[in-house]
Every structure is written in C-alpha cells, then in structure tokens.
C-alpha cells in the first residue's frame, strides 16, 4: 500500500494505491486563497498541514486495515510557492503562491543582472517563480527577509512536518529559478541574485528516491508505521506525468484545464527560453521535460459558455461539433489571450479577440472559434517545443477539455499526433506521488510507471488538417504585441 499526497491550490488530495495498481480510495480537504492586494495570492502553510491531516484521517476511516499497512508516502504539490522559515522553523509570513504577480519588476532586474539566467534555469524569469518573490520580500519586507533561515516549496513544508527534514526534489526545485537544471544542483550564481546561499536551500534528491522517513510522533498521530519512507516526490505536472506513465523520452501529456499545458519528456536538457517554454528536470533520474503553458484554455470555453447563456461548456462544444467543414471555414477566428499569454509570446498585457465576425456568426460558430483558438494556442506551444528539439507522436489528454471527443479529434489533427484519453483515476498529481513513494521502496520504474488504460484514441484527419492549416496561418498573422 502506498499513499500519494498532492498539495494543490484549491485542495489537498490524498490517494491510496495498491501494489496491483488499484486506486483503493481517495479523499480531499478544501483550501482557500487569500488576496490581500491586487495581484497578490497567498496561503498559510499551516493550512496545508491541517488539510493533509484531515484528508489522511478520512482515508484512514474509509480503509483502516489497508491504511495501516502503508509502506511509503509520495508527495506532489503546486510549484513555485515561497515558504519562509526562521531558524526555529517558524513560518515568517504567508506563502506567496505560483499565481502571484507582484514581482514582475524583480524578474526584469534578475534577467538584466545575469544574462546567463535562461541557460542555467531553462526558462525566462517570470513572476510565478520562487526566486523573484524572495527578491521582492528583501526589497519590501526587509525585516522578514533578514530572519529567513530556510526557503521551502509547498509540498516540502508538508515533508518537514512529516519527517523533520529539509528536502526537495529536482522537478519542483526546477521551478524556483535557483536550480542549475542541466547539472541538477543549486546554482550559486542564481542564488546570489536574491541574496541567498545554499545554506538557505533544502537538500536535493531525485523524485523517486527517499526524501526522509516518517517521524514516530507523527506516525502515531496519523495511524501509520514509524520510519516508512517519504519519497522526494515532484511538482504537480511532473507528478501527473508519472501517474500517466510518461517517464521516457517522447512521451507526454496535454492538460486542458483552466490553463493549457503541453508536457514532453526529453532525454537531455533542451531549453528554448526565447519562446517562453520551460525546460525542467523530470521526477525520475536522467530525464528532463519541456513544458509549454498557455494561460486560458478550457477557461476560454467556459467564458464563451457564460457569455452565450448556455447551460454548460459541453452544450457549446456539441453545437460546434455539428458544424460542417464549410461552416467551420466560415467561422470567426479567436485569439485566446483573455488573461495574457505565456508560451510563445510571454506577453502579460495582450488580450483576446474575435476576428471576421459577420451576420452569419451564431452561437455554434462562436463556440467553434473559441475551441479552435485554444487548439491553435497549443499548436503554438508544440512548435516552440519542436524548435528546442522535442518530438512527440502520442499525447495523453487530461483535464476538463478531455470530456469533448470533438476537441480531442481536433487536437489530434492540429498537432499531427495520436491523442488518447484515460479514466478519471489517471488525472492529477496524487497518483504520481503514490507511484514515486512506491519507487522509493526500491521498486523498478518498468513495474510502477505503467500507462493507464486508454478509453479512446484519436488520429489526425487529413480533411480536417487541410482546413486547420489555412486557418492556423491566419491565426498566426493576427497576433500583435500589446
């Protein structure tokens, strides 16, 4: 039996996995986000620990015998959050989260001061990352900064409560802007940009390696055996990849959630920071991954659903699916930049727009335009990954958008790749976290990192590809920097 703990932004989710790959049960406890000022996003780290204990208690109540037999714990979590601890491990201020945008000026300063930043970190400096948050704290809260003894990521704060150890893994550490991603070690040059040293950092391990052992008092309180291994774990996207069996070069997934993520495993460090992609360490040794991120994916479809007064996004997608190829060709074009864009434009100020509206434009064509615009945004992301040397022939599709067979088919045609969907149990970081815990007991990757059962498979459609090629060229011509 293995437990996966996923420290999300909206909830802590825990999962119980058996050694025959059965998800025996799961539980969750909700979290809230505090926004004390515009652009600020914070959570209290104590809430993560309280929610973890609550979720584990639910799992224990539902499966008492199996819970007591757990051999390992794995951790997954929201990336980039800054947990600041003093010398007594007291939290100095609320954690600044991944979606906090207060430190844009600090990002520009860091890029100017260290021109080699992108070569080391595998990405441009962006407000989501951890390092510029610390630079902001040093500038705006110097009394707090002077007390900082350790900086931890969200899941690693929970690890500290479980094990008493300061440890992080390579994938999550990649999102700090302090890691030399190619060498898989902390970079003194990057740390110096925020006035920190390696003494402020946790020890690094691979995600599938031991990252501490459960303390006796915590084990007793949770109803687990003392000394069981807590794996290094992973950032949420890398953990999701492990859950989907995407651990070898060329494997990957496409997440159609609020945002859109294309994740491709690479055999080496392959950055393309100029196109706003991320090249990070994977959660297993000797592997890296590239990631493109668009900010408004399935959320764009929800936006137009609300605008049209439709009952739900599925209804809008169904109407779009009924359009003929000729009707699709006559539909408007949509730029899906409702909240700015990351890959490939790195343009926080650009906004979405419809083009070629006419009296013939109806709800179905508007819905189609939005779905297609998001597809083209993801195609932009894949082109950026291809430019850095990635290739992919098959992608697992997860997230809310995976429920639309029409959208899955369009993605297969646009990306020229097989797109497959899986059952809901394959979604999320908790399964990957449990698998990393399993690996930390000495199990082999080939036995643990299996691909989940395929529910449906979609292949490129030549007729649809011809239509999309023409419209994609038009789409590409419409972007104008803000």
Look at 21-30, 39-48, 128-137, 384-393 and tell me which has the smallest mean pLDDT.
384-393
Residue that the structure tokens 């902390």 belong to: 186
Do the annotations mark residue 79 as ligand-binding?
yes
Q: Is the peptide bond before 344 cis (omega within 30 degrees of 0)?
A: yes
* Band of residue 424 on the pLDDT scale cut at 50, 70, 90: low
Distance of CA 420 to the CA centre of its chain: 19
Q: Rounded CA gap, 254 and 419, in Å?
A: 9
Give the closest residue to 170 by CA, choosing from 183, 151, 158: 183
Q: How much is the pLDDT for 349?
A: 81
Q: What is the mean pLDDT of residues 248-258?
A: 89
The DSSP secondary-structure symbol of 286 reads: T
Of 155, 402, 378, the residue nearest 277 (C-alpha):
378
DSSP type of residue 428? S
Q: What is the pLDDT of residues 301-313, one digit of tens each?
A: 999 999 999 999 9
Structural domains in the chain?
A: 2-232 (3.30.420.40), 245-482 (3.30.420.40)
Count of CA atoms in the C-beta half-sphere (13 A) of 241? 34
Closest alpha carbon to 56 in 26, 11, 30: 26
Query: 80 a known binding residue?
Result: yes
**Biggest alpha carbon distance in the chain?**
70
- Can you spell out the DSSP letters for 20-77? TS-EEEEEEEE---B-SSTT--EE-HHHHHHHHHHHHHHHHHHSHHHHHT--EEEEEE
Residue 124 has pLDDT above 80, yes or no: yes
Q: Which residue has the tokens 């630079």?
A: 135
- How many CA atoms lie within 13 Å of 207's alpha carbon, on the beta-carbon side? 39
- What's the mean pLDDT in 242-264? 90
What pLDDT does residue 257 have?
82
Q: Locate tokens 């360490």: which residue?
A: 281
* Residue scoring higher pLDDT (174 or 389): 174
What digits encode the pLDDT tens for the residues 76-93? 999 999 999 999 999 999
- Report pLDDT for 21: 94
User: What are the Cα distances from residue 104, in Å, to 110, 125, 137, 143?
Assistant: 10, 9, 13, 22
| Arithmetic mean of pLDDT, 111-116 | 96
Beta bridge partners of 96: 42, 82
Question: Rounded to two decimals, what is the model's pTM?
Answer: 0.89
What proportion of the chain, given as a percentage, has pLDDT over 70?
A: 99
The SS3 of residue 159 is helix
Q: What Rg, from alpha-carbon coordinates, does the chain have?
A: 22
Q: Active-site positions?
A: 236
């Amino acid at each position: 039996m293995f437990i996966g703990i996923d420290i999300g932004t909206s909830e802590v989710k825990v999962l119980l996995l058996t050694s025959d790959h059965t998800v025996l049960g799961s539980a969750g406890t909700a979290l809230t986000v505090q926004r004390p000022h515009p652009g600020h996003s914070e959570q209290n780290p104590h809430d993560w620990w309280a929610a973890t204990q609550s979720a584990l208690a639910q799992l224990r109540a539902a499966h008492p015998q199996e819970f007591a037999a757990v051999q390992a714990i794995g951790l997954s979590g929201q990336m980039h959050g800054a947990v600041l601890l003093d010398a007594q491990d007291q939290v100095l201020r609320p954690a600044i989260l991944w979606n906090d945008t207060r430190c844009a000026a600090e990002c520009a300063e860091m890029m100017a001061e260290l021109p080699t930043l992108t070569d080391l970190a595998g990405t441009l400096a962006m407000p989501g990352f951890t390092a510029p948050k610390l630079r902001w704290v040093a500038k705006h809260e110097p009394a707090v900064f002077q007390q900082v003894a350790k900086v931890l990521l969200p899941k690693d704060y929970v690890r500290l409560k479980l094990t008493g150890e300061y440890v992080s893994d390579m994938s999550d550490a990649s999102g700090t802007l302090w890691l030399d991603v190619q060498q898989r070690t902390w970079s003194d040059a990057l740390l110096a940009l925020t006035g920190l040293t390696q003494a402020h950092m946790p020890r690094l391990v691979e995600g599938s390696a031991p990252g501490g052992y459960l303390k006796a008092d915590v084990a007793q309180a949770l109803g687990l055996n003392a000394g069981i291994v807590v794996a290094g774990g992973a950032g949420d996207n890398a953990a999701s990849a492990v859950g989907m069996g995407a651990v070898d070069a060329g494997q990957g997934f496409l997440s159609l959630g609020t945002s859109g993520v294309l994740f491709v495993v690479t055999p080496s460090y392959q950055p393309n920071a100029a196109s706003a992609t991320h090249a990070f360490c994977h959660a297993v040794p000797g592997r890296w991954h590239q990631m493109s991120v668009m900010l408004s994916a399935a959320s764009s479809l929800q936006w137009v659903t609300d605008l049209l007064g439709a009952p739900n996004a599925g209804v809008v997608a169904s109407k779009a699916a009924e359009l003929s190829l000729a009707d699709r060709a006559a539909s408007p074009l949509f730029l899906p930049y409702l909240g700015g864009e990351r890959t490939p434009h790195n343009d926080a100020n650009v906004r979405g727009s419809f083009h070629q509206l006419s009296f013939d434009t109806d709800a179905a064509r508007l819905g189609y335009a939005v779905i297609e615009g998001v597809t083209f945004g993801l195609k932009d992301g894949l082109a950026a990954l291809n430019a850095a040397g990635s290739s992919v022939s098959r992608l697992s599709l997860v997230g809310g958008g995976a429920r639309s067979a029409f959208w899955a088919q369009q993605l297969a045609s646009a990306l020229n790749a097989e797109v497959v969907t899986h059952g809901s149990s394959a979604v999320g970081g908790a399964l990957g976290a449990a698998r990393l815990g399993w690996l930390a007991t000495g199990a082999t990757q080939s036995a643990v990192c299996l691909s989940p059962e395929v529910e449906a498979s979609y292949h490129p459609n030549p007729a649809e590809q011809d239509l999309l090629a023409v419209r994609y060229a038009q789409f590409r011509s419409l972007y104008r920097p803000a």
